[in-house]
Amino acid sequence: MIASGTLARFQDDFAQALLATDAAASPALAAVKAQPAFAIYRNTVMKGCIDALQANYPAVTRLVGDEWLRAAAAVYARDALPARPMLLEYGADFADFLAQFNPAAELPYLPGVARLDRFWTEAHAAASEDTLAPAAVTPLASGNFFRARLQPHAATRWAWFADAPIYTIWSRNRSDAVFDGDIEWQPEGALLTRPGDSVQWCALDRAGCVFLDTCAAGGTLADAAQAALAVQPDADLGRLMARLLEAGVFSRLDPNT
């Protein structure tokens, strides 16, 4: 329950004044806003939001520089304060914001990179559960095998980027390391997992992304294999399965239902 008394009115006025860009404010707060110290609160609130976005989007920051990122973050924050106080979560739709943000129009790969930064955070904070060991799959006889369902681990994230080599751009900018060499402009997929509590990543082809989409939607291994071959007829499914299991992509195997 929110009260409608004096304290509530003060908080409505104060919260509005924190984000107002001009001198307009409730007359009741004019004497407060006129004090130079009011800027401390405005600055602290904005700095808290901007610092959080910068921390949550390190590869985007490295690509555009601190100054650009912080200016963009200020625009984002003024429209969308955190809905919850866990600032690790803040900016969940920053990729969508960047896709609509005019100054970013010349950097069409930026939203994709932001999406992978976000995947990293989600993988980092996801629930802890065991990953499915490769050995758990082998005992299945071939008949049962295709009726089984594989459940992706809570920390597993993947995406296919049809327009740009997002994975290469992101992975080269996720650390301070310097990479030489040109980037081949081609579609790419990315896979993030968290085996043993540390987030790992690798490239994933179109077949792999579609395979995981189908598993996540509750499809059987037969469904997943069919979908993967439909988009990439030459896909090596045996090798794909081995790679996914090795990366700790799954948490559970349901033999059949």
Q: Which stretch binds another protein (CB under 8 A): 10-18, 57-65, 177-185, 217-225?
A: 10-18
Tell me whether residue 3 or residue 178 sits nearer to another protein (CB atom): 3
Cβ(10)–Cβ(17) under 8 Å?
no
Residue with tokens 């069409």: 108
- Among 205, 209, 201, smallest CA distance to 173 is for 201
Token pair listed for 250? 């799954």
Nearest to 104 by CA among 69, 133, 131: 69
From the list 159, 194, 240, 249, which residue makes contact with another protein (rule: CB under 8 A)?
A: 194
Indicate whether 5 belongs to the interface with another protein (CB under 8 A).
yes
Member of 21, 23, 31, 184 binding another protein (CB under 8 A): 31
Write down the residue that tokens 């106080």 correspond to: 85
User: Is 198 among the residues that bind another protein (CB under 8 A)?
Assistant: yes
Distance from C-alpha of 214 to C-alpha of 228, rounded to nearest angstrom: 9
Collapsing DSSP states into helix, strand and coil, what is residue 227? helix
Cβ closest to another protein, residue 15 vs residue 162: 15
Nearest 5°: CA angle at 237, between 232 and 243? 115
Q: Decide: is 118 part of the binding site for another protein (CB under 8 A).
A: no
70 binds another protein (CB under 8 A): no
Question: DSSP class of residue 183?
Answer: P
Among positions 40, 203, 217, 230, the unique one binding another protein when judged by CB under 8 A: 40
Q: Which residue, 25 or 81, is less far from another protein as judged by CB?
A: 81
**Which residues are at the interface with another protein (CB under 8 A)?**
1-3, 5-8, 10-12, 14-15, 18, 31-32, 35-41, 44-45, 47-49, 52, 81-88, 124-129, 154-155, 194, 197-198
